[in-house]
């Protein structure tokens, strides 16, 4: 993306509120960077205005070598329906994105050269990079982008989360893109006209379900057709076992890549087996190193990469679920009793060894720029039992479901133990990853992993808006939906923070979730691996990976598989 800002600096300051005190209109530095770059200000210019210098990039990796990464290898399918970062990571070397989100809070173009937004954030103009081609030799054009946008807006596709993220482009009657919402202006330019202001459009284009497919392959599985703009092809794919990406040397028009081969290896959920694989030279990097083995990987001499994030675990009752013929979790007193029984600080310590920060049961993180500070949550076991008794449900035995892994299992155990201590009845049910993946939306009472999102309003739109594709709680509140519509518009910072505070309060007082902590995320890599930095959204981009020296690249070829 060029250093020249598509927006003037004065306009950017007005849009982002870069004057005065935060509570009277100032957004902190991260908010400025996220909002200004989302609306079209180039990253270097935004960093300069915020008084922040961009970190100098590491030396590029040398050509050649291979890398094996420990990761859960999940099935792929239609990218619009991706619900885990791991699904996207399998095809990130093949499919690219219009925009990428960086750990410093900025957005940068990948397939886009730049973009601009009008002052109201109701019109966006997307400018494509020139010279990009598909690995078939076809040029990458605005027609491809328009076709993807049209496919993303198709609300009739079950599980299409992009339709929720781009709802300002969708006709609520036809459930497709509105007439005139998406227009191809020339082979390298697309214009978006929204039905309402929305500052989350660019963040949505950086999310993992927004992988760009060839216009003739919308809705298909990229592993099956193998067409992309990236430098790799998926040559071997077995969910639950491995995914192998090999550099396509015949494709010269896309992003350069150093590694000859990248292997994602699934060793199962036991992190001690990951450590054993590392010691045996079977892996070079972890996609994520979970609490409990972080110090063990440190002791191997591997390099630790960490980042604070808005990733979290949510414990929720599904308000629409029938339990013995009754929607038990539709009962407000029952939901609030669960929240009052749980001390979130205990979950932080027992669930993830304290590697994060305490959360407040509203799913907006202090690291997200639209966070509003609220009074801390406090556990009250006596009040918890009293509420359940008043609801006539103190004798009901909850079944708390979690996947059989590390932090979600231990977090659910901590919640169940505290509920029992408060006098509430609960039993645990632990399921396999495949069973969890198939049913995570429908369990009456369960524990779910949520990824980092750039803005709190994104999470609220994806998970808590009435009828949203990922609304696992079954929560529906007309006032919440109305306030959320207001929160995504460009308003003065004071008004926006007041709106966010009300949204957060609704989730708290309605007892919609127990959301105990924000996770710091970690991964480890062998000495000499380049590009292994932990991404807040757990992205792994093979184009960035490699080895620091030719000797290390050559030695990697001898690593046992």
Q: 19 pLDDT exceeds 80? A: no
Q: What is 308-519's CATH topology? A: Dipeptide-binding Protein; domain 3 (3.10.105)
Name which of 358, 400, 403, 407 is nearest 379 in CA terms. Answer: 358
**Res 253: pLDDT:** 59
Res 255: pLDDT: 74
Instruction: Work out the number of other CB atoms within 10 angstroms of the CB of residue 21.
Output: 9
In this predicted structure, the answer to whether residue 119 has a pLDDT above a threshold of 90 is: no
pLDDT the model gives residue 49: 54
Q: What is the pLDDT of residue 497?
A: 85
The answer on pLDDT for 559 being more than 80 is no
Contact 91, 228 (CB under 8 A): yes
Structure-block tokens of residue 510: 């309605």
Could you tell me which residue, 32 or 19, shows the higher pLDDT?
A: 32
Matching fold, domains 9-56+97-210 and 232-305+524-556: no
Cβ(265)–Cβ(90) below 8 Å: no
278 pLDDT more than 90:
yes
State whether residue 45 is helix, strand or coil. helix
Residue of 125, 88, 102 lying closest to 6 (CA atoms): 125
Domains in the chain: boundaries: 9-56+97-210, 232-305+524-556, 308-519
Yes or no: say if 136 and 433 are a contact pair by the CB < 8 Å rule. no
State what percent of residues in the chain have pLDDT above 70: 88
Looking at the domain covering 9-56+97-210, what would its CATH class be? alpha beta
Q: Is it the case that residue 1 has pLDDT exceeding 60?
A: no
In terms of pLDDT, which residue wins out, 513 or 488? Answer: 513
Q: How confident is residue 256, by pLDDT bands cut at 50, 70 and 90?
A: confident
Mean pLDDT computed over every residue of the chain: 90
Give the pLDDT confidence of 341-358 residue by residue, as tens digits: 999 999 999 999 999 999
Q: What is the pTM of this model?
A: 0.90
Check whether 25 has a pLDDT greater than 70. Answer: no
Flag the least confident range among 189-198, 213-222, 249-258, 291-300: 249-258
For the cut 80, the answer to whether the pLDDT of residue 538 exceeds it is yes
The pLDDT of residue 548 is: 97
For the ranges 47-56, 230-239, 265-274, 286-295, the lowest mean pLDDT is seen at 47-56
Strands (E), 363-405: 397-403
**52 or 532: which leads in pLDDT:** 532
**Over 70: is that where the pLDDT of 102 sits?**
yes
Cα 405 to the center of its chain, rounded Å: 19
- DSSP conformation letters of 512-556: --B--EEEEEEEEE-TTEES-PPPTT----GGG-EESSHHHHHHH
Architecture in CATH for domain 232-305+524-556: 3-Layer(aba) Sandwich (3.40)
Q: Is the pLDDT assigned to residue 165 strictly greater than 60?
A: yes
Distance of CA 474 to the CA centre of its chain: 21
């Amino acid at each position: 993306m060029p250093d020249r800002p598509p927006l003037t600096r004065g306009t950017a300051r007005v849009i982002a509120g870069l004057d005065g005190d935060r509570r009277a209109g100032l957004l902190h530095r991260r908010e400025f960077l996220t909002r200004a770059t989302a609306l079209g200000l180039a990253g270097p210019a935004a960093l300069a205005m915020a008084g922040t210098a961009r970190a100098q990039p590491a030396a590029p990796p040398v050509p050649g070598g291979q890398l094996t990464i420990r990761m859960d290898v999940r099935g792929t399918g239609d990218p619009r329906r991706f619900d885990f970062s791991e699904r996207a990571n399998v095809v990130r070397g093949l499919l690219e994105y219009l925009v990428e989100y960086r750990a410093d809070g900025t957005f940068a173009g990948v397939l886009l050269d730049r973009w601009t937004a009008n002052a109201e954030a109701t019109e966006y103009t997307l400018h494509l990079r020139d010279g990009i081609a598909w690995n078939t030799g076809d040029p990458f054009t605005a027609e491809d982008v328009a076709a993807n946008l049209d496919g993303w807006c198709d609300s009739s596709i079950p599980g299409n989360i992009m339709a929720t993220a781009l709802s300002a482009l969708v006709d609520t009657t036809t459930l497709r893109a509105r007439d005139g919402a998406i227009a191809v202006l020339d082979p390298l330019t697309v214009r978006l006209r929204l039905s309402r202001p929305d500052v989350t459009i660019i963040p949505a284009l950086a999310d993992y379900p927004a992988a760009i497919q060839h216009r003739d392959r919308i809705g298909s599985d990229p592993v099956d057709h193998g067409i992309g703009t990236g430098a790799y092809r998926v040559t071997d794919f077995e969910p639950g076992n491995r995914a192998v990406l090999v550099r396509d040397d015949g494709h010269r028009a896309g992003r350069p890549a150093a590694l000859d081969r990248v292997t994602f290896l699934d060793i199962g959920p036991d992190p001690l087996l990951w450590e054993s694989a590392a010691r045996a030279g079977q892996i070079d990097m972890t996609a994520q190193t979970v609490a409990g083995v972080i110090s063990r990987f440190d002791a191997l001499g591997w390099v630790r990469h960490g980042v604070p994030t808005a990733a979290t675990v949510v414990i929720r009752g599904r308000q629409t679920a029938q339990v013995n013929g009754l929607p038990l979790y539709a009962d407000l007193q029952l939901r609030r009793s669960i929240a009052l029984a749980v001390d979130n600080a205990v979950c932080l310590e027992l669930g993830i060894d304290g590697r994060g920060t305490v959360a407040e049961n509203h799913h907006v993180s202090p690291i997200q720029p639209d966070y509003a500070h609220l009074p801390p949550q406090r556990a009250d076991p006596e009040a918890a039992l009293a509420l359940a008794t008043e609801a006539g449900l103190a004798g009901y035995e909850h079944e708390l479901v979690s996947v059989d892994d590390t932090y979600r299992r231990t977090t659910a155990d901590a919640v169940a133990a505290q509920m029992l201590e408060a006098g509430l009845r609960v039993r645990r049910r632990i399921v396999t990853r495949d069973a969890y993946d198939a049913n995570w939306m429908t369990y009456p009472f369960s524990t779910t992993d949520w990824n980092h999102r750039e803005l709190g309003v994104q999470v609220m739109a994806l998970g808590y808006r009435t009828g949203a594709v990922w609304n696992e709680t079954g929560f529906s509140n007309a006032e919440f939906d109305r306030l959320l519509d207001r929160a995504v518009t460009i308003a003065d910072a004071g008004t926006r923070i007041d709106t966010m505070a009300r949204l957060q309060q609704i989730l708290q007082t309605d007892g919609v979730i127990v959301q105990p902590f924000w996770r710091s995320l970690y991964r480890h890599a062998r000495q000499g691996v380049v590009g292994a930095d932990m991404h807040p959204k757990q992205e792994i981009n093979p184009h960035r990976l490699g080895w620091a020296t030719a000797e290390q690249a050559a030695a990697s070829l001898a690593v046992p598989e």
